[in-house]
Amino acid sequence: MASLSQGEVTSRGSMWELDQNLDQPMDEEAGRLKNMYREKKFSSALLLRLAFQSLGVVFGDLGTSPLYVFYNIFPRGVDNDEDVVGALSLIIYTLTLIPLLKYVFVVLRANDNGQGGTFALYSLLCRHAKINTIPNQHRTDEELTTYSRQTYEENSVSAKIKRWLEAHAYKRNILLILVLIGTCTAIGDGILTPAISVLSASGGIKVQNQNMSTDVVVLVAVVILIGLFSMQHYGTDKVGWLFAPIVLLWFVLIGSVGAVNIHKYDKSVLKAYNPVYIYWFFRRRWNSDIWTSLGGVMLSITGTEALFADLCHFPVLAIQIAFTLIVFPCLLLAYTGQAAYISSHKKHVADAFYRSIPDAIYWPAFVIATAAAIVASQATISATYSIIKQALALGCFPRVKIVHTSKKFLGQIYIPDINWVLLVLCIAVTAGFKNQSQIGNAYGTAVVIVMLVTTFLMVPIMLLVWKSHWVLVVTFIVLSLMVEVPYFVACILKIDQGGWVPLVIATAFFLIMYVWHYCTVKRYEFEMHSKVSMAWILGLGPSLGLVRVPGIGFVYTELASGVPHIFSHFITNLPAIHSVVVFVCVKYLPVYTVPTEERFLVRRIGPKNFHMFRCVARYGYKDLHKRDEDFEKMLFDCVLFFVRLESMMEGYSDSDEFSVPELGTGGGGGPLTSSASAFLGEKTCSTMCSNGELSFSSQDSIVPAQSPPSLRGMTGSSLLTRCSEGQASTVGDELEFLNRCKDAGVVHILGNTIVRARRDSGVVKKLAVDYMYAFMRRMCRENSVIFNVPHESLLNVGQIYYI
């Protein structure tokens, strides 16, 4: 490629200088908006109330673990008291290191404006480093009030890590694969948690009637599960207020029963708080079934990852208060009390929880245990919906129907397709295994994999986001892996005893996510490489070489800049185009939400008499299109607002902005460079509007393009004269023109790019693209449904792309 001449460099520099002068920061407006989303200060009374409410949302899964832990530690029975004390000591310090120290006091701080989970960590990383595999972000996106990021010194460790991550595509892909693995195993939790929690709680029926068949217990559990999943479409808005009292009552119950059992049966188990008994436990059982016991101990911290994923909008301090004052002490009392009971009744280890309950409160305890299991299951099901929604927003899952179940809470959603898949798999696991042991093995495998993924993702978070010293990072990862790796080995050794279930589930969801994401990225790359240059559009003239018929055409595209290839495909094959053309780009950003008043950006493409605009609708991974009841009306209103606001910038007239000395070669009246012609071709002025609240910024986008033959050799002044011919005399004329076009009719033009594998592709690629991806495309929802486009106003433009 030929090098740029000195005049071209000078011209480009002047244009960038002009762009910077026009795009001045709005400190006052930005400050007002940022104050709306700044972390709130909570009073002590409000913090305590939020800590109470968090019990029902965050801690249900972790709190129901005492139902099945000791049975999975000693599936073959207990030989001596020292083994019980050693197992209790392992439980105590595992609860201390993982849920308390790692998650409550470290990982929870890595939330994304109140959102937790694997994708929240990934979105944080995407904002601090360019690792997003779909590069559809623009510098204006970084000005969002919810788009927080850090800056780095050139030679700092954080800057070096950032450059290392951005250097090669394979590193970004490895990071994405790691995130998908964590996400898919978390979905497995949404299947296994209801199965083991409800089955364990239902087992209380058999304790009082030893002659009852296990099939009856399984049938009761299946009936409860069917009822639970069948009620999901109603949402939890109306009954959610019951969750916190139920879980609080549950923790008070298990803590009180544990304290009574310690006093009643064996106080000597309190020596388990001395960690030396962990060493003696390993030494005694090393040659027998130590790995089986470790897999059982692992179940005592199941629900810890859900604690992070279900963070919602609870402040971190409220979670910390609830865990340290209620959850942690009650769990320690519950496990210690069970250990005391087992020491005196070694044959009752299989159902130690229910047998340790006094007869006077047995059936009330059974009802509370069942209710707590349902609440725990509901929390993981809701977390699964949220995970699927986040994956869909980041282009990693097929488009599925999402129902918003609450008018007050944005995060309460329901996904019908996923709900019935979870129900079928949950019933299959419950009825297939019929016992807690094998389900527990499967559950532990899923949980420990998610924990390991979180540990690895926390390393770049601590370096890039928190800018922590490398000593703290090493300490964190060593302590975490020192606990999690042995548990991982223990769970992997149980693959043939039920541990294969989460691996199969995770593999299936991983294939769906990765294939969908791969084809989505390839389709976006095709759109980017085949987009039409602005110089070509300008060369067509105001009529675009066609008949401009009355009406408005909304052309949907994945591109946030440039003219999509489907537009050239459309005007090449049809003899007419609408009088007003609006290119609409709907894109998701790595933020949890985009404030409504900042959602839409509107820009003009070409001179005014072309009547072409671009509208970019930006969403976060928690936002829902369903909230935009009339997407078409919002788009048109934003275009009208843009035209009105553009008239306020008459001081920046074309002759002032694009004067010949600024844009001409060498400062004279010579020919414009290709960069200058592209710069002239897309004069933009972005608006952010909603419900009458407006904020305004201006910018000019430079899109490199070659000048068409019809424009070459023209002077800057003659080109400006040509581009301004036929321009509306007043803003009122253009507004009237737009309204007339709307009354004439609106057509939504959607591109339908079909991705196919090349003929010389391998068998695996052909299966993935031609069959798997094609099947998912046919089964998923159309974009027209998501955008609420009327069927009679829809026009699909198809094209095939071979990868």
Tell me: the pLDDT tens digits for 176-190?
999 999 999 989 888
pLDDT (average), residues 14-38: 39
Residues ≥6 apart with Cβ < 8 Å to 467: 150, 152, 156, 158
Each residue's pLDDT tens digit, 228-241: 998 888 876 666 77
Ranges in the chain annotated CATH 1.20.1740.10: 52-519
Instruction: Decide: 64 and 372 in contact? Cβ < 8 Å.
Output: yes
CB atoms within 10 A of CB 795: 15
Residue 106 has pLDDT above 90, yes or no: yes
DSSP structure string for 437-472? HHHHHHHHHHHHHHHHHHHHHHHHIIIIIS---HHH
When comparing pLDDT for 32 and 390, which is higher?
390
703 touches 34 (CB < 8 A): no
Residue among 635, 637, 599 nearest 735 (CA): 637
pLDDT at 626: 57
Question: pLDDT at position 29, please?
Answer: 36
Mean pLDDT to the nearest integer, 575-601: 85
Residue appearing with tokens 């310690």 = 262
Nearest alpha-carbon partner for 446 in 529, 506, 526: 506
Angle ∠(221,223,228) on CA atoms, nearest 5: 95
* More confident of the two residues 674 and 626: 626
Percent share of the chain, pLDDT over 90: 24
In this structure, CATH architecture of domain 52-519: Up-down Bundle (1.20)
Per-residue confidence band for 660, with pLDDT thresholds at 50, 70 and 90: very low
Query: Comparing 97-111, 134-148, 431-445, 736-750, which segment has the lowest mean pLDDT?
Result: 134-148
User: Which residues, listed in sequence order, are joined to residue 555 by a DSSP beta bridge?
Assistant: 583, 749
How many angstroms separate the CA atoms of 438 and 429, rounded?
9
**CA distances, 35 to each of 31, 145, 231, 465, 592 (Å):** 6, 9, 39, 21, 17
Which one-letter DSSP state was computed for residue 620?
-
> What's the pLDDT score for residue 288?
65
Longest dimension (CA), the chain: 100
E strands in 295-418: 403-404, 413-414
Average pLDDT for residues 491-510, to the nearest whole number? 88
User: What is d(CA 126, CA 590) in angstroms, rounded to the nearest whole number?
Assistant: 6
Buried b (16+ CB within 10 A) or exposed e, 754-781: ebbbeeebeeeeeebbeebbbebbeebe
Beta strands in 511-575 (DSSP E): 547-557
Element of type H or E holding 42: none
What is the residue type of 453? V
Confidence check: pLDDT of 305 > 90: no
Residue 713 sits at φ, ψ, to 5 deg, of 85, -5
Q: Could you report the per-residue pLDDT of 584-595, keeping only the tens digit for each? A: 888 888 888 888
pLDDT in tens, 239-278: 677 888 999 999 999 999 999 999 999 899 999 999 999 9
740: pLDDT strictly greater than 50: yes
Q: Rounded CA gap, 169 and 132, in Å?
A: 10
